[in-house]
């Protein structure tokens, strides 16, 4: 049986076989263009693997899909593995619905995510120290301070900050909020609450910028090259990373996304309910939010704290001497 898929100039196209064309599959998806591009990219990876291993789309068995999963796990994160396998599952579900080929992916799960968080969080002291060290005398300094402070207080993702416009700050029942276009969204259909502590630095930055229109980026570049353009996610990540490095927080696990984890963790530590934390984080699955509660509970009441036995005096004295040096 001939393969139904080929790659021409980097694009997935169909062969002359009348059934099961990937272009037909992609057209059948009721998704955004961004999601369609993700499916295309994922399937391109799958077809490349098939070509490298001499396999054909309509000759595969369940064992072949498991082999592909193992191949992905050797070089990609759990998130990417799951994303790529989802595209393959969707393809075979569609093939089966069209009575072309059975769904051989049924029951095959994505990769397990490692327990805990991939990024660290910052303590309140680390937040205060970082913000206190930041320049607030220049226009760029005011901008960077406002960004860091906003992300730490609302849990916004870098892409959400990049997409924000000045006109997205509005009043909802007397409360200032920032309307955002979240991950995987096509429109700005959700918001985060702007407390006075989150809003004041933004106002100071916008005042220093001068007259701004509602359709202008909330945070923009002030370099001669890109003046007035929205900051990219890379620029935002660099601002956050450099701010942390300036106070000695130079760790690969500390990134812009760490501020999101920090905001969620701080809200829960401060007394937010799971429903409140989930609403702020905009988690579609409550289990994601629940993981933060479990982590905090694990740290605060770990069984290790109940293990008590005396340390030999000689060792205790040596430890005290080292700590006091």
Would the pLDDT of 3 be above 70? no
How far is the C-alpha of 265 from the C-alpha of 225, rounded, in Å? Answer: 38
Q: What is the pLDDT of residues 10-38, one digit of tens each?
A: 444 444 332 346 778 888 888 788 888 88
Domain spans of the chain? 5-97, 124-300
Residue 187 has pLDDT above 80, yes or no: yes
Judge if 5-97 and 124-300 fold alike in CATH terms: no
How far apart, in Å, are the Cα atoms of 239 and each of 80, 197, 231, 244? 26, 20, 10, 9
Provide, rounded to the nearest whole percent, the portion of the chain with pLDDT above 70: 90
Distances (CA, A) of 322 to 143, 311, 317: 43, 16, 9
Q: How far apart are CA 88 and CA 105, in angstroms?
A: 8
pLDDT tens digits, 244-276:
999 999 998 899 999 999 999 999 999 999 899
* Residue 168 and residue 182 in contact, taking contact as beta carbons nearer than 8 Å: no
Q: In angstroms, rounded to a whole number, what is the distance separating the alpha carbons of residues 110 and 22?
A: 22
How many residues make up the chain in this entry? Answer: 325
**Where would I find the beta strands (DSSP E) of the chain?**
5-8, 11-14, 169-172, 175-180, 190-193
Query: 124-300 in CATH: which number?
Result: 1.10.443.10
pLDDT higher than 80, residue 237: yes
- If you average pLDDT over each of 4-8, 71-75, 262-266, which comes out highest? 262-266
Tell me the per-residue pLDDT of 151-162, one tens digit each, with 9 for 90 and over: 999 999 999 999
State the CATH architecture for 5-97: Orthogonal Bundle (1.10)
């Amino acid at each position: 049986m001939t393969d139904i898929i080929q790659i021409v100039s980097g694009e997935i196209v169909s062969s002359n076989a009348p059934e099961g064309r990937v272009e037909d599959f992609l057209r059948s998806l009721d998704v955004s263009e961004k999601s369609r591009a993700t499916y295309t990219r994922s399937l391109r990876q799958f077809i490349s693997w098939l070509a490298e291993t001499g396999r054909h789309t309509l000759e595969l068995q369940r064992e072949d899909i498991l082999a592909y999963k193992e191949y992905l796990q050797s070089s990609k994160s759990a998130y990417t593995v799951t994303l790529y396998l989802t595209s393959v599952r969707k393809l075979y579900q569609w093939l089966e619905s069209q009575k072309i080929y059975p769904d051989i992916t049924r029951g095959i799960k994505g990769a397990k995510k490692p327990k805990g968080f991939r990024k660290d969080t910052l303590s309140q002291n680390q937040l205060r120290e970082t913000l206190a060290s930041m320049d607030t005398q220049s226009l760029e300094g005011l901008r960077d301070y406002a960004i860091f402070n906003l992300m730490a207080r609302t849990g916004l993702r870098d892409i959400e900050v990049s997409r924000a416009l000045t006109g997205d700050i509005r009043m909802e029942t007397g409360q200032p909020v920032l309307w955002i276009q979240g991950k995987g969204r096509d429109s700005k259909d959700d918001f985060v609450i702007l407390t006075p502590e989150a809003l004041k630095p933004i106002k100071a930055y916008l005042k220093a910028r001068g007259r701004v229109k509602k359709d202008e980026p909330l945070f923009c570049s002030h370099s001669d090259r890109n003046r007035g353009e929205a900051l990219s996610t890379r620029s935002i990540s660099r601002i956050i990373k450099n701010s942390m490095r300036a106070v000695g927080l130079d760790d690969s696990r500390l990134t812009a996304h760490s501020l999101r984890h920090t905001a969620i963790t701080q809200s829960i530590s401060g007394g937010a309910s799971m429903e409140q934390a989930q609403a702020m984080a905009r988690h579609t699955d409550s289990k994601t939010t629940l993981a933060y509660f479990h982590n905090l509970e694990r740290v605060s009441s770990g069984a290790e704290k109940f293990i008590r036995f005396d340390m030999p005096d000689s060792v205790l004295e040596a430890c005290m001497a080292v700590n006091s040096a």
